[in-house]
Amino acid sequence: MPVMPPLPVSAASVFGPALATAEAFADVLATRGVEQGLIGPREVPRLWDRHLLNCAVVAELIDGQCRTLVDIGSGAGLPGLVLAMLRPEVAITLLEPMERRCRFLAECVTELGLANASVLRGRMEDVARAGLLRADVATARAVAPLPRLAEPAAGLVRPGGMVLAIKGITAREELENAGSVLRRIGARSAEVVRAGQGKVVPATTVVRFFAQ
């Protein structure tokens, strides 16, 4: 079994009172998460820097008015479970199409005591088309390229709701490629932003836009 990395110094300031919960989640990811194929064994040594902290700083992009959030393709719970730890006042729906991943997420919600999180099995396109969710904010990480993600993600938030797509070095290219889709759906203020500057290295790159 890969060895867990030491706790980064920045973790305490980023997670604050949720640090113990984050550590418990890290242990789950490093064991059952690997066993169930939710993360690769090579990811364990960089669980904190590449995954947990990378997701946690996204919370700073979500304002205090947010009351509902949907995490699209939640998978291993990144960023959905992490945001649930940091924003207990926000009702977070973990949207995931695969049954075994839904079971993993439900177990984590119970074990970590995240009363504000719930799991919904479904494909983003189907849930958006059915109008089953209209959250204040939608998040997505490693789900789909922005040209394919943008329309269903916009369909999962209320009018004026915010979409946060966590991306890497391809963020600007994806934003350019999604231009025609974003214009067609009436998306506003589409831009690349960085979360966690001065807190984590590298800062987390996010494509942010607002639904019509």
**Over the stretch 40-78, which tens digit does the pLDDT of each residue have?**
999 999 999 999 999 999 999 999 999 999 999 999 999
Report the distance separating Cα 153 and Cα 128, nearest Å: 7
Q: Taking the alpha carbons of 124, 129, 132, 136 in that order, is the dihedral positive or negative?
A: positive
Tokens matching residue 8: 């980064």
pLDDT, tens digit (0-9, with 9 covering 90-100), for 73-125: 999 999 999 999 999 999 999 999 999 999 999 999 999 999 999 999 999 99
What is the reported pTM? Answer: 0.96
- Look over the chain and give the mean of its residue pLDDT values, rounded to a whole number: 96
- Cβ–Cβ < 8 Å for 153, 70: no
pLDDT of residue 132: 85
pLDDT of residue 1: 61
Q: Is the pLDDT of residue 188 over 90?
A: yes
202: Cβ contacts below 8 Å, ≥ 6 apart: none
State the first-to-last Cα distance of the chain, in angstroms, to the nearest integer: 47
pLDDT of residue 3: 76
